[in-house]
Amino acid sequence: MIFDIQHFCTYDGPGIRTVVFFKGCPLRCVWCCNPESQKATPELMFDGEKCIRCFKCICPKGALKHTDEVLLDRDICNVCGECQELCPTNALRVVGRLLSVDEVMKEVLEERVFYSENGGVTFSGGEPFMQSEFLLELSKLSKLEKLSVVVETSGYAKWEKIEKTLQYVDLIFFDIKSCDSERHFVLTGVRNELILENLKKIATECETVVRVPVVEGYNFKDESDVFKLAEICRNADVEKIDLLRYHRLGEKKYRMLGRKYDLEVGDTRFIHYMKKILEEEGFKVMIGGTNY
Ligand code: SF4
Ligand code: SF4
């Protein structure tokens, strides 16, 4: 279950890459900028800005009503996708499609001429390890094709779902959302013990960069949180930390899914202070870095 495949990416690993976005995630981060990645099933997105009110969209189930605008009843909609075919502006769009391993690989290999030595494929999400057998096959085939393989993970998966794939992976981007387990639960819906345990195991087997979304006042409040992060990375023998700036680019997608986004983040300068502390602690630190 894939929600997007993007080509010519330069922010998700070395070189030029194709990024395959798996749909489905066990976490519900309050700042998530890809809310369409969370549910493991297809969803209907409605973009009111693209809608020209032609009212060509007819729903056989009666989930679409036309007043002076289009009203979608998500309790009735079964995401059959029929309305998407009728909409001339792509205002209605089903996100999430079932693809076979061969279909994904075909799309990845179409771009191989651009990958040169260090580029390749990145499996992102959502959480790729939620579809661990699919990820294993894709990683294995990508390695057979001599592509660089990167996996972006929340680290929240049983070890047996992770371990078998690592031999085919060159680099892991491992998210740490909060160093405090209670706060982690409040902000993401799960505690962080399993995640931190997996970080140590993964980092012994595969090159690992820790990625940290910095949402000031939420997951990082003061410098004691930064020292905790340094301790976690040191204990796992991780040297590189990539700090990710908070942004609101996903806000519109919540509306398109009929959901609310209520996070208010004031200051975003703390990230630079974090970088300084972590560098003094001996880490190589990037902010949204591309130099892996
Ligand atoms: S996806 Fe299908 S059920 Fe949902 S609104 Fe469109 S036509 Fe109706
Ligand atoms: S078909 Fe598309 S553009 Fe026309 S009213 Fe329906 S959603 Fe809007």
Residues 122 and 266 in one domain: yes
* Mean pLDDT of the 202-217 span: 96
CATH at 61: 3.30.70.20
CB 31 within 8 A of CB 263: yes
Which of 250, 253, 238, 237 lies closest to 285, judged by CA? Answer: 238
CB environment 144-182: b (16+ within 10 A), e (fewer):
eeebbbbbbbbbbbeeebbeebbebbbbbbbbbbbbbee
Are 62 and 146 members of one domain?
A: no
Q: How far is the CA of 54 from the centre of ligand 2 (A)?
A: 5
Which ligand sits closest to the CA of 49? 2
Enclosing domain of residue 88:
43-95
Q: Are residues 180 and 151 in the same domain?
A: yes
Average pLDDT over residues 28-46: 97
Pick the last residue of a domain from 56, 77, 95: 95
Same domain, 184 and 253: yes
Q: Are residues 112 and 67 in the same domain?
A: no
Task: Choose among 281, 279, 141: nearest CA to 289.
Answer: 279
Query: 272 with 181, same domain?
Result: yes
Is the pLDDT at 292 greater than 80? The verdict is no
Residue 29, domain member (yes or no): yes
Quick check: 291 pLDDT over 70?
A: no
Residue 163 lies inside a defined structural domain of this protein: yes
CA distances from 12 to 55, 93, 163, 219, 243 (A): 40, 26, 21, 23, 13
Same domain, 227 and 86: no
- Shared-domain flag, residues 55 and 162: no
264 and 129 in a single domain? The answer is yes
Print burial letters for 196-208: b (CB count within 10 Å at least 16), e (below 16).
bebbeebbeebeb
Which atom of ligand 1 sits closest to the CA of residue 92? 6
Ligand 1: which residues within 6 Å by Cβ?
44, 59, 61, 63-64, 77-83
* Residue 151 covered by a domain: yes
Tens digits of residue pLDDT in 60-106:
999 999 999 999 999 999 999 999 999 999 999 999 999 999 999 99
pTM: 0.94
How many domains are there within the chain?
2
User: Which residue has the CA at smallest separation from atom 3 of ligand 2?
Assistant: 51
The predicted-structure confidence for 224-276, as pLDDT tens digits, reads as follows 999 999 999 999 999 999 999 988 888 999 999 999 998 888 777 889 999 99
> Is position 202 within any domain?
yes
From the alpha carbon of 54, which atom of ligand 2 is closest? 4
The residues lining ligand 2, judged by C-beta closer than 6 Å to any ligand atom, are: 51-57, 70, 86-87, 89, 91-92
Token pair for residue 83? Answer: 């309305």
Query: What are the residues whose beta carbons fall under 8 Å from the beta carbon of 158, sequence distance 6 or more?
Result: none
The ligand 2 atom nearest the CA atom of 92: 7
